[in-house]
A and B are shown apart, each in its own frame.
Chain A
Amino acid sequence: MSRKDEPFFVGYLPLPAGLKGFTLFISLAVFVLFFGAGLLIGATQDAPEDTGFRFDFGRQTVTGVVELTPYPILRVTEGNDRIAPGKTMMLTAAGKSGVDMRAMGLEGQLAQISGIVLERGTIDMMQLRGGRNGISPVEGNAPAMEIEPLGRWKLAGEICDGKCLYGAMRPGRGLAHKACANLCITGDVPPVFVSTQPVEGQEFMLITGPEATRMPQEAYDFVGQFVTLEGDIERRGDLLVLQIDPATIALVDE
């Protein structure tokens, strides 16, 4: 066909007859592409794990002994119908911040906490209300709390920020969520290790640095990735605390 016989499109003139069928076909193809891609991508999103805030439980208030790991936790001594005594709660504030400042003076003392719980299988974390409404000292002598060392372990799994892992965000882990997790952990939200298999019945454990320090800087590069690491584990109530040894963190090699 000579070039002269080809239909020639000029934007401000009517579409040449020879191009009508083709243009219509392409338009329909574009519609099908956008519709199909939207449906396929949209309908194959991974299901987030069944976690989240339990606003439906309402505000929970319990009393216990504050311990600083250094991330503050509460060993419940006086529970309610959802949170039994003996339970250990990790604590966080609203947003991407911890309650370190508020808990600081309360180490080893009895305190009452109040807030909304986050649930991931079990209730392990509470987002406290603001100021003294969230955590306040309680009169009385704090009972001695047992800390049971479990030895040094080598584990495989993922370093996450505890709050998103427990459902503040869905999805709340993985590399696409890494920056957010880092932001939470720098904001003193307790970091949590997800182990591939349970240790002494627990899949999740609170992370600290060596010698009861905060999560070490080196660990931030590994947040959201699948790693092996070594560390000392201790049991505080029903919560395991993992003191990671930053020198041992390594990516899992397939």
Chain B
Amino acid sequence: MSVKYIPVQWNRSKWVYDALMLIAVTLFLYVFLFVSPEVLSHEAPINPQVHNARAFGACAFLMLTVILCIGPLARIDRRFLPLLYNRRHFGVMTAFVAITHAGYILNWYFAFSNSDKYEALLFANTSYGQLAGFPFEAFGIFALICLLILAATSHDFWMKFLTPPVWKRIHASIYLAYVAVVAHVSLGILQDQQNHVFTVIFIGGALTVAGLHAYAAWQEDRRGDELGADQDGWIDICDASEIEEGLAKIKILPNGERVAVFRHEGKLNAISNACAHQNGPLGEGRIIDCLVTCPWHGFQYDVRNGRSPAPFTEKIPTYNLRIENGHVQVHRDANPPGTPVEPVEVPA
């Protein structure tokens, strides 16, 4: 929330989230780095640099896979929303793990030659015209750049500065990055690995991400928010009695935007469904202490004027609303953010 930026706005949930995440990552790396060599007991062990690179690479892949599952899972089952809450820290951590992987590779496979290692990374393999033997490093570099941009622009400042839609678009490059990572692995280690445990885990993880996204999108197509019918500039939402106290109904307006009509203390108000923070779906939130609370990060707004309570300064657009024959209707043009609108009483 706004009011003077600080590096990280910690709270108990974030501490716990980060602690759990760190434990998971540490478990993975510890087991991979220190337990598995004992289990393997190879006659001639894998070079430590390669073993480390594999550990961090596999860890980054797993982290990215888990991160990308959170979004669709939270849409399929809202109980997963706590995982979404601090996903940004998870992403930043992934960028660090990925860069460690890249460092081990760069300082091993591309070092020790007469050329600069960064140059070597770019010129050593130029077989771009073939699938097998393709310089799969290029996919890794692309994914790493995406991860770095995402991590570097994760502070709330960026969201406000770039605007949430632009910020979200930039952060949607995570999907491209994930496909690039899949290509990086498919054309890289997957070509060499003889033991197929990794192959199975890798394909299983990637297909889980693919399946969950397709399923969540398909479900939203079937059961998602509906387009409201337009009657001379007023959009039909629903019967006034259908809106539960403290909750909202969401409808899509003809221009593609979404409106959320909340019922609070028996009165109705319409606000934009997009939270000012990350454009989270306010209509899927609820009213807590007289304030609409976003289900993603808990940003709050007064439903009557779309303003965050002082000292916060966020504002969202409001909509004019009327009841015609028991039907709630919202005017299709939004009021500028923070415009007060008189609540409309639900007819008895």
Q: Are A34 and B62 in contact (CB under 8 A)?
A: yes
Question: For the complex, is A223 an interface residue (Cβ under 8 Å from B)?
Answer: yes
**Residue A33 at the B interface, CB < 8 A?**
yes
Roughly how many angstroms separate A31 CA and B187 CA in the complex, as a whole number? 29
Pick the interface stretch among A36-44, A57-65, A236-244: A36-44
Known A30-B66, A39-B31, A51-B44; contact A171-B11, beta-carbon cutoff 8 A: no
| Complex interface bits, B81-109 against A, C-beta within 8 A gives 1, otherwise 0 | 11101100000000000000000000011
In the complex the two chains form, what is the Cα distance from A96 to B120 in whole Å?
11
B180-220: which residues lie under 8 A (CB-CB) from chain A? 187-189, 191-195, 197-198, 201
Residue contact B110 to A31, C-beta cutoff 8 Å: no
Taking A3-B247, A42-B39, A222-B133 as contacts, is the C-beta distance between A171 and B50 under 8 angstroms? yes
What total of A-B pairs shows CB separation below 8 Å?
A: 208
User: CB distance B40 to A179 under 8 Å?
Assistant: no
Contact B288 A177 (CB under 8 A): no
What B residues does A38 contact at CB under 8 A? Answer: 27-32, 36, 55, 58-59
- Which chain B residue shows the least CB distance to A220? B127
Which of B12, B36, B46, B136 makes the CB contact (< 8 A) with A43?
A: B36
CB <8 Å contact, B130 and A183 = no
The reply to whether B40 and A45 form a contact with Cβ atoms under 8 Å apart is yes
**B42 and A47 contacting across the interface, CB-CB below 8 Å:** yes
B50 touches A37 (CB 8 A): no
Within 8 A of B (CB), among A1-53: 2-4, 6-15, 19, 22-23, 26-27, 30-31, 33-35, 37-52
Q: Is the CB of A176 within 8 A of B86?
A: no
The B-contacting residues of A in range 172-189, CB under 8 angstroms, are 174-180, 182-184, 186-187
Q: Do B113 and A97 touch (CB < 8 A)?
A: yes
- Residue numbers in A under 8 Å from B23 (CB-CB): 31
- A169→B51 CA distance, assembly (Å): 12
* Best-surrounded residue of B11, B79, B120 (most CB of chain A within 10 A): B79
Residues on B with beta carbons closer than 8 Å to the beta carbon of A174: 191-192
Q: How far is the CB of A42 from chain B (nearest CB, A)?
A: 3
Which of A6, A48, A183 neighbours the largest number of chain B CB atoms within 10 Å of its CB? A183
Q: Are B28 and A48 in contact (CB under 8 A)?
A: no
The yes or no answer to B112 lying at the interface (CB within 8 A) is yes
Smallest distance from the beta carbon of B242 to chain A beta carbons, Å? 12
Other-chain contact of B45, A22, A40, A170, A220 (Cβ < 8 Å):
A170
Q: Are B25 and A34 in contact (CB under 8 A)?
A: yes
CB-CB < 8 A to B193: which residues of A?
46
**Given that A12-B13, A38-B32, A251-B132 are contacting pairs, would A176 and B110 also be in contact in the complex, using a CB cutoff of 8 Å?**
no
How far does the alpha carbon of A19 sit from the alpha carbon of B20 in the complex, in Å? 16
Q: Is the CB of B135 within 8 A of A44?
A: no
Return the contact of B40 from the options A7, A47, A182, A221 (Cβ within 8 A): A47
B290 close to A (CB within 8 Å): no
Q: In the bound complex, do residue A175 and residue B188 qualify as a contact, i.e. CB atoms below 8 Å apart? A: yes
Which of B27, B187, B201, B298 has most chain A Cβ within 10 Å?
A: B27
Interface residues of B in 105-123 (CB under 8 A from A): 108-110, 112-115, 120-121
A-chain residues with CB within 8 Å of residue B194 when the two chains form the complex:
46
Q: Is B244 an interface residue (CB 8 A)?
A: yes
Task: Name the residue of chain B whose CB is nearest to the CB of A184.
Answer: B113
Looking at A9, A14, A39, A46, which has the most chain B CB atoms within 10 Å of its CB? A9
From B27, B114, B133, B245, give the contact of A35 (CB < 8 A). Answer: B27
Interface centre among A23, A48, A176 (most CB of B within 10 A): A176
Interface membership of A143, Cβ < 8 A: no
Least CB separation from B86: chain A residue: A11
Assess the B133–A178 pair: CB atoms within 8 A. yes
Residue in chain B with minimal CB distance to A25: B79
In whole angstroms, what is the CA distance A10 to B44 when docked?
A: 53
B286 within 8 A of A: yes
Q: Is B221 an interface residue (CB 8 A)?
A: no
Q: Which of A9, A167, A187, A221 contacts B114 (CB 8 A)?
A: A187
Tell me whether A6 and B78 are in contact (CB under 8 A). Answer: yes
Binary contact track B32-58/A, C-beta < 8 Å → 1, others 0: 110111011011111100110011001
B236 partner residues in chain A, CB cutoff 8 A: none
A224 at interface, CB cutoff 8 A? yes
**What 4 additional pairs, Cβ within 8 angstroms, besides A8-B286, A14-B12?**
A11-B298, A12-B13, A179-B137, A223-B133
Ranked 6 nearest A-B pairs via Cβ = A42-B36, A42-B32, A95-B112, A38-B31, A38-B28, A174-B192
